Chain A
Amino acid sequence: MFGYMIKRLIQMVVVLWAVSVLVFVMMSFTGDPTFMMVPLDATDEQIAQARRILGLDESHLVQYWRFLSNMAQGDFGRSFVFRQPALTLILERLPATLEIVFLAMALALLVAIPLGVYAGANPGKPASRAVMAGSLVGISLPGFWLGMVLIFIVAVKLQWLPSSGRGPTTEWFGLRVSFTSWEGFRHLILPAITLSIGTLAILMRIIRAEMVEVMKQDYIKFARAKGATAKGILFKHGLKNALIPLVTVFGLMLGDLIAFATLTETIFAWPGIGKLLVDSIYRGDRPVIVVYLMFVALMFVVVNFVVDVAYALIDPRIKIK
């Protein structure tokens, strides 16, 4: 186990390094950021000076080395637009994103588990077919469009919930969050529902497929023969084993939610890292894009590592090579 963890840690570092190379190469493609910094009527001399300050007059290899060593020291550069360290910008906005991501995840699990288990345990029933058709619709619709429909119906027409912004925030263990006040929570509802739909639909299908598999196993037949109640079989024998693979999709789920948060946050003007990324892309604010990508890569790599280790601990059938 220990050796396995060391090997995975080395893999993590290699992945992050590869991402840093890719990010650096792609960013060198995006044109010259010098013109973001200098006034429109700058002289050639001023432009050359700006290039020197940005370090763009040196070779790509030197630039990459500086990029890497700065990052290793925790210096990710400053935003061209905000004139602040890019990392600070990301960290400031992170709680807002995590708030809708976790609420969306909770919502998805809460709805998908019962429906998926039902559809998997009773295949062929009309209600199960309806659940499956519903999940296919959920996969097929663009999430951001659903957000717009919700805004139009719930916020514009019915005026039940606010259509955009984060609302009041309060301090909670040092983080600024909205869910602690009713007004703040009202702002959370629509973005979280919008974000959860895609994940919910996929999760439902995974749980159903898993449940169908599990219910075919010998231990289920044995439990039936033993005379266990239908409820006991479903929850004690079926559900418990069907949920193990959920641990492995956790990383994928989190990744998807973070990715789609860029769209959801844009629609609802939610001040999280996703909206920051989209705004930075519009403004050509390179340092912020780079930090966002490196940060998200780190997050995914760590989550996948934890998931793999947790999976091996939960399921004794899995042997680590």
Chain B
Amino acid sequence: MASSRPVISATLRPSRLRRFFASEFFHNYKRNLSAVLGSLIVFLFLAMVTAGPFIVSQNPYDVAQLDLMAAFKPPVWLEGGSSEFWLGTDGQGRDVLASIVYGSRISLVIGLVAMGGACLLGTTLGLIAGFYGGRLDAFIMRIADIQLSFPSVLTALFLMSAFGTGLDKVLIALISVGWVVYARTVRGSTLRETQKEYVQAARVSGLPNRRIILRHVLPNVLTPLIVVATIQVGTFVLIEASLSFLGVGVPVTQPSLGLLIKNGFDVLFSGLWWVSIFPGLFIMLLVFGINLLGDFLRDELNPRLK
């Protein structure tokens, strides 16, 4: 196998992209069906939420575009369905597919932004705890312990009940439950890294702590976070859906996939299943894709956990 790889000469270094395509990482990726499938799903979702609003015929939240005559139309392959609304319409004549495109956008943005926030907060606290140690470390880690003894959904639900609904509040709630896992991971690796010689050397040469942390320790503790961060986007999408389903997540004016399910639940018993079943199917597909990708990254980047 190794002989088929291009030989990299020191004088003619290929571009970064070339090197990536020639890397072992990419080699394993190509041969891993679930990794390719997972990234394809994630890519399609990203394409859908960026280009989708220009493709679907209707903005489901522009009342002027809604037609009550078109309410409760079943999907196109069922009797009474219309080719204008592939996945049917809801009680206000909203195209279910268009709602899903707009809803995925909100769900995915919440997942990504909250992940970024949790990562930033958790990494910062983990670096501080691991590098300085002492009481600060004990304090941060005790909070983390207490929080971990509660399931995230319950903590988030409780926070939302205190804050009230809103996109910003959902983000705060998710960040508050999500930082712990980064803080713990980063603290552990920071403790290990600070024992190593390069950090000792940096200390001896008189660099300020801030610089040691940011330039020397931080780059060496980031790799395990990639896996955590990937999977967390999926977890956050699910938690947000649960909160919105319970009516304490996003406001009705900015419906995520979870809120679409909730709205559809009210008409499920009249047999109008498509309003709620399809949004759920899309959540499942999205989180499934993210998890497939996360599993592959875990095997590649943290081989000890394999």
Interface residues of A (CB under 8 A from B): 15, 18-19, 26-27, 29-30, 133, 136-137, 139-142, 144-146, 148-149, 151-152, 156, 163, 255-256, 258-260, 262-263, 266-267, 277-278, 281-282, 289, 293, 296-297, 300-301, 304
Contacts and interface: CB of A to CB of B under 8 A. Distances in A.
Interface of B: 34, 142, 145-146, 149-154, 157-159, 161-163, 234, 238, 241-242, 245-248, 258, 261, 265, 268-269, 271, 273, 276-277, 280, 283-284, 287-288, 290-292, 295
B288 A301 contact: no
B269 A163 contact: yes
Contacts of B150: 255, 296-297, 300
Contact of B280 (A142, A259, A266): A142
Nearest to A252: B151
A206 to B, nearest CB: 13
B163 A151 contact: no
A278 B280 CA distance: 21
B291 to A, nearest CB: 5
A149 to B, nearest CB: 6
B273 A141 contact: no
B162 A140 contact: no
B151 A144 contact: no
Contacts of A156: 268-269, 271
A145 B280 contact: yes
Nearest to B248: A281
A142 B153 CA distance: 12
A155 B150 CA distance: 33
A74 B27 CA distance: 63
25 contacts: A19-B146, A26-B159, A136-B288, A139-B291, A140-B234, A140-B290, A142-B241, A142-B258, A142-B261, A144-B242, A145-B261, A145-B276, A145-B283, A145-B284, A148-B265, A148-B268, A258-B154, A259-B151, A259-B154, A260-B151, A263-B153, A263-B246, A293-B158, A297-B149, A300-B149
Given A140-B291, A152-B277, A15 B268 contact: no
Nearest to A152: B273
Nearest to A293: B158
B277 A148 contact: yes
A289 B153 contact: no
Given A140-B287, A263-B242, 15 more contacts: A133-B34, A139-B287, A141-B280, A142-B280, A142-B284, A145-B280, A145-B284, A151-B268, A255-B150, A266-B246, A267-B265, A289-B158, A293-B158, A296-B150, A300-B149
A301 B145 CA distance: 11
A144 B149 CA distance: 23
Given A29-B163, A296-B154, A148 B280 contact: yes
A310 to B, nearest CB: 17
A142 B283 contact: yes
Contacts of B287: 139-141
B261 A148 contact: yes
Contact of B162 (A30, A149, A163, A266): A30
B88 to A, nearest CB: 14
Among A146, A149, A259, A296, find the residue whose CB has the most chain B CB atoms closer than 10 A: A259
Contacts of B158: 26, 289, 293
A144 B291 contact: no
Contact of A136 (B271, B276, B292): B292
Among B159, B245, B276, B277, find the residue whose CB has the most chain A CB atoms closer than 10 A: B245
A289 B261 CA distance: 25
Contacts of A260: 151, 153
A260 B245 CA distance: 12
A178 to B, nearest CB: 22
A278 B284 contact: no
B162 A29 contact: yes
Given A15-B149, A144-B261, A289 B154 contact: no
A300 B149 CA distance: 7
